[in-house]
Amino acid sequence: MDISNKQKLIVLTHKYGSENDLYVEIPQTIREELDWKEGDTLIWEIKGDNSIVIRKELSVSEYKEQAIREHIEDQDFDSYYDWIYQSCFES
């Protein structure tokens, strides 16, 4: 899922048992799209406008994979290959 395309989702809170504890059920289609599974740790951030941002806490290997992917996406390989070509063939 492209998380840069932020979407708002309104969910209902549910009461659990006789206590006043509330819980939020995230629809299965959204959990599947985000690749969230039972047992994943979710980080909840409450923003200044009282909106809540939820994201999955990454394991070390998931974090490394994401960092590598972002690094590769940020690279300008065309200019690098142009520099290699110029260095090798135009000297």
Residue ranges of the domains in the chain?
1-57, 58-91
User: Where would I find the beta strands (DSSP E) of the chain?
Assistant: 13-15, 22-24, 42-46, 52-56
Task: Read off the pLDDT of each residue in 18-45 and give the average, rounded to a whole number.
Answer: 83
**Residue type at position 25:** E
- Is residue 35's pLDDT more than 70? yes
Contact 1/9 with Cβ under 8 angstroms?
Answer: no
End-to-end CA distance of the chain: 46
Mean pLDDT across the stretch 21-48? 85
Q: What CATH architecture is 1-57?
A: Ribbon (2.10)
What token pair was written down for 28? Answer: 């299965």
Instruction: Indicate the pLDDT class of residue 10, thresholds 50, 70 and 90.
Output: low
pTM of the prediction? 0.47
